[in-house]
Amino acid sequence: MAARSAAPVVASKRPPGSEAVAPAHADAAAASFAALTHKLDYLDEADIRRIREAYKYADAAHLGQFRASGEPYITHPVAVATVLAELGLDVETLVAAILHDTIEDTPLTREELAAQFGEDVALLVDGVTKLDKLKFRDRQEAAAESFRKMLLAMSRDLRVIMIKLADRLHNMRTLGAQSREARARIARETLEIYAPIAQRLGMSLVKSELQNLGFRALHPWRHAIIEKHIRSQPVVRRESMAQVEVQLSQGLAREGLEHRLVSRIKTPLRPAR
């Protein structure tokens, strides 16, 4: 289950720089990279140059490859890097995110990536590639075994898992291009494997969005009804939340406990178990 790609590449593999790109595809790729650069204000110019270099390299490597939606494939790894930039990840992680499918889906090798971008980046890309190649006999084995192998990867470098989670998040955001069967499979996989890992890592926003998107894909009508109800009473829900926060804060203060309350409005997430 976890071994299959959520958004398969369409078209042939070509070496970097082998042919020109249609203007519309170039525009889509440039727009995705522009969205990423807007999230990089916490990095210095040298780091941003490295990210730009990685983008050009990956763009050439994925030339002629497209997602199921018809978009140039490069828009996917750039979107994955954008998710991680929003979390403030380091430059090596962002570079690896942009390159994360090159070993699996292009002629580029791990050795070439190491020579061009350093051993740290190559290790991260190789780690993500190995996770993508996990193969299982059935769903039950997939859920248990992927947890074990992902946790093992986490013990070596958490950034591998973070790239994989961002990869899954973008695939879930663009799930509509898949068949009904693929949407259901990917959504169950997301709820059973990836959302719990995000929770264990403390990536609450990523976890919540994975759950929300997974629930929507599996139960679109339930999701629509719940979402409509939630959106119809935003003021009431915010007022109720404020009252709860005040009561909790007062109770903690009376006990002399230092505290900081963090709350959020509930979204239509996964189905009850």
Active site residues: 104-105
Q: Is 66 helix (H, G, I), strand (E, B) or coil?
A: strand
Question: What are the residues whose beta carbons fall under 8 Å from the beta carbon of 255, sequence distance 6 or more?
Answer: none
CB under 8 A, 24+ apart: contacts of 203-209: 203/87, 203/162, 203/165, 206/83, 206/87, 206/165, 206/166, 206/169, 208/264, 208/267, 208/269, 209/169, 209/172
- Do 190 and 213 meet the contact criterion of CB atoms below 8 Å apart? yes
Burial degree of 252 (CB within 10 A; 0-12, 13-18, 19+): middle
Q: Which amino acid is at 193?
A: I
Any idea what the Cα angle at residue 92 is, between residues 203 and 98, rounded to 5°? 80
- Do 130 and 67 meet the contact criterion of CB atoms below 8 Å apart? no
Residue 17 zone, left/alpha/beta (φ > 0; ψ -120 to 50; rest): left
- Do 161 and 130 meet the contact criterion of CB atoms below 8 Å apart? no
Q: What is the DSSP letter of 4?
A: S
**Structure tokens, 169:** 């998040």
**Structure tokens, 144:** 């248990």
